[in-house]
Copies of this chain bind each other. A is one copy, B any other.
């Protein structure tokens, strides 16, 4: 981004931050005790050249996500991926809803193609969820919320693209559902100048904490290993159906 535009944005952020802080916004959520790691749309259409969806800064994002994956896996923390893909790309039966009227390029994201497969450099391991979503948010029309809720997750570490689209909507939904979203600064991107910065600014003001990779790695180093949620000491009656 040109130097003058960066400076203009920083001037706005500085003014706006002062107003927000004076009014009781922009505090820290902080981390909880049971995190999960969510990687949004790190599939080939977004991570590799040649598609209308490709994003910038992959030479920073990919290695940063690799480090996070290593840290999360060493603690047994749930790792979830999303991709966006469609089975029917035209007519009154399409699973694109009405979204393709806004973004006709969505029709290129066909289920089962290499474009929508997760990039091998950050490939999922067995036992990790890959959720196919139809909309921007990783929560919308998916089992993500009930997956996290069932396992007592309280903190959602978020990476991926795009910042102005899927990543932002996911963060908004995450805090709405009751999870603490932590956006990892080096692990998010987009495809047009400026939008990463202003969307991170909005999120940090209202919806989630934006943190540098090192802070998140520190947290993961110190957090307890993830284990199955305990069952209460007092148990239910053992005779199945006896209460009937």
Contact = CB atoms under 8 A, between A and B. Distances in A.
A89 B76 CA distance: 16
Given A215-B236, A219-B232, A176 B16 contact: no
A39 interface: no
A195 interface: yes
How many copies of the shown chain assemble into the complex? 4
A207 B162 CA distance: 13
B234 A222 contact: yes
Contacts of A135: 143, 146, 175-176
A213 to B, nearest CB: 10
A123 interface: no
Interface of A: 4-5, 8-9, 11-13, 15-17, 19-21, 23-33, 52-53, 76, 78, 87-88, 91-93, 95, 97-99, 101-105, 127-130, 133-137, 140-152, 154-155, 164-165, 168-169, 172-173, 175-180, 182, 185, 191-195, 197-202, 204-212, 215, 218-219, 221-223, 226-238, 240-241, 243-244
